[in-house]
């Protein structure tokens, strides 16, 4: 049963030996674990080169957000990363950018799935108000989910708090949620968080876990996650 639940491990480090340690120690035959590489690693001196020769599926979390032509060029420049299965783009880039990237992704790599990123899980209603958005987090995420669906993108990245609403509206949409913590772990810079079990109860397709897994004893943390999911 747990094999159907995708765990994306946030490989947040620019240190290659640290990344290799995370990759090795998060491997388990009890869970479907896929590494997620963000800007910190991709922009590091050895990061991109390492990913060129990566042998299994990974998620490249760059959150592309620019004018359509620049965004297209960015996606095109990734065509040598043969095992890149997921890439993220910001819904804030608008419908035309989302559609263009989805179309380009097919020509770059037939297995590449485009995930649209909604309001970041570090933001809350107060933060949005400061930026100038008058709508609430839920209203904005709902609107962005509609854009992502309309664009033909393969999935959406949103907080587990909004996932339930989106799943009700778009039953077949692939939903990934960051801001996931094991019970008792610190929230840190996240504003909208849940435990893995709470997130999966909200019908998400996959969860992103960083600090809860990669800080401290990684193997023990993986076992904590397995025990938690078995409850």
Per-residue model confidence (pLDDT) at position 189: 59
Q: Is 49 a catalytic residue?
A: no
Predicted confidence (pLDDT) at residue 3 exceeds the cutoff of 70: no
Per-residue model confidence (pLDDT) at position 74: 94
Query: Do 174 and 205 form a contact (C-beta atoms < 8 A)?
Result: yes
Gap between the Cα atoms of 163 and 177, Å rounded = 8
Per-residue model confidence (pLDDT) at position 188: 62
As a three-state string, the secondary structure of 63-128 is: EECCCHHHHHHHHHCCCCCCCEEEEEEEHHHCHHHHHHHHHHHHHHCCCCEEEEECCCCCCCHHHH
Per-residue model confidence (pLDDT) at position 176: 96
Q: Taking all residues of the chain, what is their mean pLDDT, rounded to a whole number?
A: 92
pLDDT band with cut points at 50, 70 and 90 for residue 191: low
What mean pLDDT is predicted for residues 79-103?
Answer: 95
pLDDT band with cut points at 50, 70 and 90 for residue 179: confident
**What percentage of the chain carries pLDDT values higher than 70?**
96
Predicted confidence (pLDDT) at residue 192 exceeds the cutoff of 80: no
Domains and CATH numbers, the chain: 2-229 (3.20.20.70)
Q: How far apart are the first and last CA of the chain?
A: 12
If we measure between CA atoms, which residue out of 1, 55, 27, 5 comes closest to residue 199? 5
Per-residue model confidence (pLDDT) at position 4: 76
pLDDT band with cut points at 50, 70 and 90 for residue 2: low
Per-residue model confidence (pLDDT) at position 21: 96
Gap between the Cα atoms of 220 and 179, Å rounded = 20
Tens digits of residue pLDDT in 32-61: 999 999 999 999 999 999 999 999 999 999
Predicted confidence (pLDDT) at residue 190 exceeds the cutoff of 60: no
What predicted TM-score, i.e. pTM, was given to this entire model?
Answer: 0.92
Per-residue model confidence (pLDDT) at position 162: 87
Per-residue model confidence (pLDDT) at position 1: 53
- The active-site residue out of 5, 21, 32, 63 is 63
Q: What angle do CA 148, 130, 198 make, to 5 degrees?
A: 50
What mean pLDDT is predicted for residues 101-117?
Answer: 93
Tens digits of residue pLDDT in 152-178: 999 999 988 888 889 999 988 999 999
Per-residue model confidence (pLDDT) at position 231: 85
């Amino acid at each position: 049963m747990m094999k159907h639940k995708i765990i994306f491990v946030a490989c947040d480090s620019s240190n290659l030996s640290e990344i290799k340690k995370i990759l090795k120690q998060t491997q388990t035959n009890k869970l479907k674990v896929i590494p997620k590489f963000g800007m910190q690693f991709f922009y590091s001196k050895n990061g991109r080169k390492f990913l060129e020769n990566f042998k299994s599926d990974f998620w490249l979390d760059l959150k592309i957000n620019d004018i359509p032509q620049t965004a297209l060029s960015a996606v095109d420049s990734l065509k040598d990363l043969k095992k890149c299965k997921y890439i993220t783009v910001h819904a804030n880039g608008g419908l035309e950018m989302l559609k263009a990237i989805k179309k380009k992704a097919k020509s770059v790599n037939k297995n590449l799935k485009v995930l649209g990123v909604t309001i970041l899980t570090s933001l809350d209603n107060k933060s949005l108000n400061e930026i100038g958005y008058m709508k609430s987090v839920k209203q904005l995420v709902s609107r962005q989910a509609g854009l992502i669906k309309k664009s033909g993108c393969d999935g959406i990245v949103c907080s587990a708090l909004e996932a339930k609403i989106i799943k009700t509206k778009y039953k077949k949409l692939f939903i990934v949620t960051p801001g996931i913590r094991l019970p008792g772990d610190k929230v840190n810079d996240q504003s909208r968080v849940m435990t893995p079990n709470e997130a999966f109860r909200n019908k998400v397709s996959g969860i992103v876990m960083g600090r809860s897994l990669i800080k401290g004893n990684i193997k023990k943390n993986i076992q904590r996650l397995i025990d938690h999911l078995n409850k």
